[in-house]
Amino acid sequence: MNLVESTCHVDDLKDEEWAELLVVTEAAFREHHDRGLGMALCGISSDQLKVYLRNCFVFIIRDNGRIVAYRGIKLGSSGGHSYAQGQSVAVLPEYKGKGLGRMLFRAFETFARNAGCSYIVTDTSCKAESSQAYHKSCGFKVWYYTCFHNKNYRSVVMRKDLRGARSLFSRLKLVASSWMMVHLKYRHDGSRAKLFDLYLRFKDFVDSPPRNARLLTLREVQETSFKVLEEFDSFCKRHNLRYFLCYGTLIGAIRHKGFIPWDDDIDVTMPLPDYEKLISMFDKSEASSDLEILHGMKRNIGIPFAMLVDKNTLTLKPGRDKKHSHPIGIDIFPAYALSDDRDEAQQQIDDIWQLVGQTHAYYKAPSWLHVLRRGKFLVCARRRLKKTLDAISAVIYKYAWGATGHIRLMSLEEHERKHLAMRPDEFDHYLLWEFEGGKFRVPETYHEHLSELYGDYMSLPPEEQRRSTLAKAYRLR
């Protein structure tokens, strides 16, 4: 063998190198699939591989010029600590047992140390006992288990700290958080732990609805949301405000000419200048007195976007503190100016993503912490949440609308994070598309955007992924 090692960013890979990476991936993960491990990358396409490795660095091993193994490495930060995540590792079957796996791991750890990372993270199938044993021999420890929508694939996430001694508080916090993630929610086989079932029952007791509230069906929630959308569309027409249906609502419009049958919310996006006008004008307008614009810390909602809601309703989401609950309505995401420099633009996206993740710690606190959060602690938590929302606004307002040639929609979901950019003038070119019997704005380039976000968006997902985002919704009498 004549092995040569190299590291590069995926943006520097040529088409023929992508083709070789796909061959290695298909061969390596087909073997896993044949062993019943159900790995996530089985049967992946070239476009899906490019999306999966987006913004990654790739360590490649070649034998006589041919790629025979590789590992993707993605850098990130969480809680003020930087980390490196192993995105995928693949070795051609005929090169197994020749030390390439250890070469890939050493390169992964060295790269992370040189980048100043505090720890490295990787994941593997719960069934891959040999892979888990190998990572443990390299210093990894089980961090938590994940339960994917694909019921045939359960993953164990493993972590290795790269910095030496940690403070006693940091170690205790890591042990406590790891124990909760491993034992509280899911067991290693992906089944839900009894302790977590008891916790959910307790939440149902604490987060009971107010008196004289009527529980709504999914269809009633959809009808309420649609009425809010009609009011929103009418207001935008009267005041010449631009908007688009987006995300799952856009898929519903294109695929079903209405709601996705199991979906219960509506997502729209607006250019930042129009978004500001909507917030400043709506409450002072002649709009229905049953509707209200919520954003930021208004009514303690604590969100980095806006909602137009029906004040006579209430929703209780799983895991969300009742103090941060909100009425039924539509989500209005601002589209903001994105830097023309690709690296800086990606940093804007990552900054917002990290900050949005921090907000979850405040409005998704367990209900059994209610007592601890009273008084000064509650005031401090509100203060920190507001500070986080202000930091998100600072990123969104970094560039004036039209000062750059690119824009981006605010996103909250991981798969939406990969959707990089649109052009500002796209909001001036739209189609009127049927949605629940009405006509609403969608972008002319809807196919390109939905394909980039969701791939084959016209095909229905597996049944286990067809679920609502709300736990319960009520009409207040």
Inter-residue contact 7 to 69 (CB < 8 Å):
no
- Two tokens at 334? 């601002």
- Which pLDDT belongs to residue 368? 43
- DSSP code, position 117: -
**pLDDT at position 374, please?**
42
Position 274 scores a pLDDT of 95
The percent of the chain in helix, strand and coil, each rounded to the nearest 5, is: 45, 25, 30
Q: Give the pLDDT score at 96.
A: 82
For the record, the structure tokens of 226 come out as 């649609």
Residues 49 and 15 sit within 8 Å (Cβ to Cβ): no
Q: What angle do CA 352, 358, 361 make, to 5 degrees?
A: 155
Half-sphere exposure of 54 (CA within 13 A, CB side): 19
234 sits in which H/E element: helix 218-238
DSSP structure string for 410-425:
---SGGGGG---B-GG
Alpha carbon distance 125, 435 (integer Å): 41
**Which residue type, as a one-letter code, is found at position 411?**
S
> Where, residue-wise, is CATH 3.40.630.30 in the chain?
3-192
| Closest C-alpha to 268, from 441, 67, 23, 84 | 441
Which CATH superfamily does the domain covering 3-192 fall into? Gcn5-related N-acetyltransferase (GNAT) (3.40.630.30)
> What per-residue confidence (pLDDT) applies to 151?
45
* Tens digit of pLDDT at every position of the chain (477 positions): 778 888 888 888 888 999 899 888 888 877 655 555 555 555 677 777 887 888 889 999 998 889 999 999 988 877 667 888 888 888 888 888 888 888 888 888 888 888 888 889 888 777 777 777 777 777 788 877 665 444 455 677 888 888 765 566 666 666 666 556 555 555 545 555 666 566 555 555 555 666 678 888 889 999 999 999 999 999 999 999 999 999 889 999 999 999 998 888 899 999 999 999 999 988 777 777 789 999 888 877 888 899 999 988 988 776 566 666 788 999 999 999 998 888 888 888 878 877 877 776 666 544 444 444 444 444 566 777 888 889 999 999 999 998 999 998 887 765 555 555 788 999 999 999 999 999 999 999 999 888 888 888 898 887 766 776 666 888 886
